[in-house]
Amino acid sequence: MNSWSHLKKRLLRWIGWTRRALLVATIAVPIVATAQGRQLQFASTAWSPFTNPTGQPRFALDLVEEALRRAGTTVATVMVGEEKLTPSLLSGEFDGSAAIWKDAERESVLLYSKAYLQNRLILVGRAGSDVSANSLSDLSGKRLALVAGYSYGEALDTTDGPIMVASASEEDSVRKLLDGKADYTLMDELVIQYLLRYHDEARTRLAFGAMPLLVRSLHLAIRRSLPEAESIIAGFNAEIILMMVDRSYHRLLHLDWISVDVDGDGLSEYLHHKDGAGYRPPQRSYQLFAAEKRASEHRPTRRFYLGDDIYEGWSNVPDRYKSSSEPDRRAEGLRIFAFRF
């Protein structure tokens, strides 16, 4: 077991800073931001449940805004259309974006944070469909509904792959699929977990692949020309890691368990959203990064981070962490999506 002080030191080594560098990063940001005398203006597109206007599910925006607030930076996010997002960021109309994928054009003007989430896009078809494809090339000739304007990357730049069917949103992609206007769509693994947990119709009307066909990392990005850009990114990177440890990270993502490497050894530990983890070990958890999952598959026992310690195996977790039951979140979950099955 590791004491909290030892674990914190290992965390700081993992993100590449000494205690002094972390202190400078997190203190310098509010000083510069105050000198600027304004809120940062961000742009984003609507993408349930990660990004949406205030009052709707916006898990990624809530997460990023909280991390930035802790680091001393305040932001306001404006929703724009997919066709406007990249041009408005390149032109300097906005200071950045809280939830964005990397591409070379954007990187020329934007400074990116470390990935705080990984979007693993799974093949989705109607119930009974063959969803065993291992790559997009396996879908040659099939109609694939994708949101117009998303930066899916070079994997889609192929002449022998699927036929692209443009959609206006994730919900529109599912509607086109169910209406027979597309054969497949791609859906984020985390979104699928939400759907299967809260919507019985997803189990009966949709089929889901077992492995991602595309993997895209999600980042905060700040305009490079901002004098405080580097300090903002540094403070954000530090706060995200600390939010994982204090459990606010997965509370804001509405997740019970996550799996992530908290002690810097390259292997994942299980973190519950609170220290009262229930009577049984988790049946499932959300793995933040696929590479850590692959590395952890060879570990003989699962490790759990509860309180300020890491425990090898569920049997070694003290009883004081096994004394609470989980609340029923079904009503909460039904408000996450606007899907109509």
Q: Where are the domains of the chain?
A: 4-116+219-247, 118-217, 257-321
pLDDT digits (tens, 9 = 90+) for 9-65: 445 444 443 333 444 444 444 434 433 456 899 999 988 888 989 888 899 999 999
Whether 4-116+219-247 shares its CATH topology with 118-217 is answered yes
Class at the top of the CATH hierarchy for domain 4-116+219-247:
alpha beta
CATH topology of domain 118-217: D-Maltodextrin-Binding Protein; domain 2 (3.40.190)
* Mean pLDDT to the nearest integer, 73-77: 94
Instruction: Say what the pTM is.
Output: 0.76
| Amino acid at site 121 | L
The pLDDT assigned to 157 comes to 62
pLDDT digits (tens, 9 = 90+) for 298-332: 677 888 888 878 899 999 999 888 875 555 554 45
CB contact set of 157 (below 8 Å; sequence gap of 6+): none
